[in-house]
Each structure stands twice: as C-alpha cells, then as structure tokens.
Amino acid sequence: MSTAISDPIAAAVATVAAPGESNGIVHGLSTAEFEILSAKCLDARKAAYCPYSLFRVGASILLHPSSSTNPSPSSSPKIITGANVENASYPVGTCAERVAMGTAVMQGHRIGSFKAIGVATDMEAFCSPCGMCRQFLREFCELEIPIFMFNKRGEYKVMTLGELLPMSFGPDVLPPREVLKRERDEEEEGKGKIA
C-alpha cells in the first residue's frame, strides 16, 4: 500500500503512476478518464442512504465516448453514478452498482456502451461488487470491462468482470427464443407419441 494521503481523490490520482502503467494509461483508461471515474465514485458515497448499516457505497460507470449523446474529442468523460439505497425491509435495498447501471439503462445505454466501473466504500480493504451486482453488471457489460475497487483512501485494486464472475451466465449464452420454443414443442410432441 502507498503512504496515506488525506485527500482520497489525490490518493486515487497518485496511483496513476503505479508501476506497470505507462503513457498515462491505467487499465485502458486515459489519465483524465481514470481521474473522473475515481473522483465521481468516491464522491458518490456521500449520496448513500444507509441509515441501518451505515455502510456507504458509491459507484461510477465510465461511458465509451462513442456512446455519449454528443461526443467530441474535447468533451470530458461521461460518467453515471449511483449510491446504495437501503430500506427498513432489508432485502429491498439496492446496491450502488445496480443504481448506477439502472440509470444508464434508463438513459438508453446497452452492452458496448461502458468502458469501466468504479466502486468505493469507507473500508480500508478493497470491496468488490456483491454477487447479485456482478450478475446484474454481466447483463450489460463485456467480461473484459475493468472494475476499479477503491478503499476509503482512494487506493484501488482492479479486476475484470470476467475475473470477478468466472463461468458467468449472460445473454450471449442463451439460445434464441425460437430455438427454445421449437425444442420445447418437439419435446411435448414426443411425449404425446409415447403416451
């Protein structure tokens, strides 16, 4: 771990110069993209509604420039954020990652629109998306998308969605509906001949 930096955003930006990263590129993100992804993610925690657990989580999703409504080379990276929202009936709460992705989907973004995801908590340790969020993200993201997990100081660990959700089940593995219907009809027809 690096030395403690009191400003979490400065800590996240300081990690840009980490060994193994070159030319201002951090796991496929430009320095500007990384800076805004980390800043928005860390900042989103402040919006968390968590009166029961007091466990704040912020999430940020970086859109590919081509998926923005008005992309231009000089425009700043487009980010969608979310924070966890709890409920007195605990299972009804929603995680930050699903809030952010749901917002993105409501804005018309789909698979191929997303470049990176950030998740931040108030913990010292790095906290990955929960299993439900991993599956939810899988519906809309490629397995190669990097997920940056920020601790409370802004330090990060990054893994791909595929690493976090091995042997995943997504829309690409489902046979077309027509194939499923034909197979079901053939199976039912075969049962009728046996009886």
Q: Please tell me the distance from the alpha carbon of residue 139 to that of residue 61, in angstroms, as a whole number.
A: 14
49 in a known ligand binding site: no
Paired tokens of 65? 């420039």
87 in a known ligand binding site: yes
13 in a known ligand binding site: no
141 in a known ligand binding site: no
6: left (phi over 0), alpha (psi -120 to 50) or beta: alpha
Residue type, 138: R
Q: Scan for tokens 């599956």, then name that residue.
A: 135
Residue type, 87: N
Q: Is 97 a catalytic residue?
A: yes
151 in a known ligand binding site: no
Q: Which residues pair with 120 in a beta bridge?
A: 58, 150
Q: Please tell me the distance from the alpha carbon of residue 176 to that of residue 139, in angstroms, as a whole number.
A: 16
Q: Scan for tokens 């330090």, then name that residue.
A: 155
38 in a known ligand binding site: no
Q: State the Cα angle at 190 between 186 and 194, rounded to 5°.
A: 175
Catalytic residue among 97, 142, 144, 183: 97
187 in a known ligand binding site: no
Paired tokens of 121? 């908590």
Residue 82 contacts residue 101 (beta carbons within 8 Å): yes
70 in a known ligand binding site: no
41 in a known ligand binding site: no
Residue type, 74: S
90 in a known ligand binding site: yes
User: Binding site for Zn(2+): residue ranges?
Assistant: 95, 130, 133
User: Binding site for substrate: residue ranges?
Assistant: 84-90
User: Binding site: residue ranges?
Assistant: 84-90, 95, 130, 133
Which residues are part of the catalytic machinery?
A: 97
